[in-house]
Amino acid sequence: MVFFLNVFLFKGLIVYPFAAMVGDVNIFMNDVDDPQVAEIEIMIAEPKSRGKGLGKESVLMMMAYAVRDLGIHVFRAKIGESNGSSLNMFCNLGFQETSRSEIFKEVTLELPMTQPKCEELLKLIDNVVTHV
């Protein structure tokens, strides 16, 4: 069975009174050998909303949630080899290349959750203000 979690991102959820959807972030627990491996995907669909920190913040929040509440211990991202911004973002977050598909022109990156990485992520989620 494959589980996935999807969160839609809203521009200015906190700052602006009128929120607008700009993208989404997903994780898929689709590794049949290890259900605690999560593939992560992010899309800031609206070009105007890119480059403002939303992508990185959303990925970090999703990862923090997945570590704390789902026990995820490895994150995986599959990215087109020409997608420089996404490759930069995941590599700067500590992901490293584990394989490359010449057919799909796609790079697979992984980030194992070491103890210090988990602590770093959990600190982030402690600082999130939630509104019900």
Ligand X SMILES: CC(C)(COP(=O)(O)OP(=O)(O)OC[C@H]1O[C@@H](n2cnc3c(N)ncnc32)[C@H](O)[C@@H]1OP(=O)(O)O)[C@@H](O)C(=O)NCCC(=O)NCCS
Note the residues at the interface with ligand X (CB under 6 A).
23, 41-44, 50-56, 77, 79, 83-86, 88-89, 92
Q: Which residue is nearest to ligand X (CB)?
A: 55
To the nearest 10 degrees (0 to 180), the angle between helices 54-70 and 84-92 is 50
CB of 56 or CB of 73, closer to ligand X: 56
Closest distance to ligand X from the beta carbon of 34 (Å): 20
Closest distance to ligand X from the beta carbon of 111 (Å): 13
Give all strands (DSSP E) within the chain, no chain letters.
Answer: 3-11, 20-29, 37-44, 74-80, 96-101, 106-112
CB of 48 or CB of 115, closer to ligand X: 48
CB of 38 or CB of 79, closer to ligand X: 79
Cα separation, 104 vs 116, in Å, equals: 34
Closest distance to ligand X from the beta carbon of 59 (Å): 7
Cα separation, 101 vs 40, in Å, equals: 18
CB of 85 or CB of 114, closer to ligand X: 85
- Of 44, 103, 33, 41, nearest to 76 by C-alpha is 41
Closest distance to ligand X from the beta carbon of 78 (Å): 7
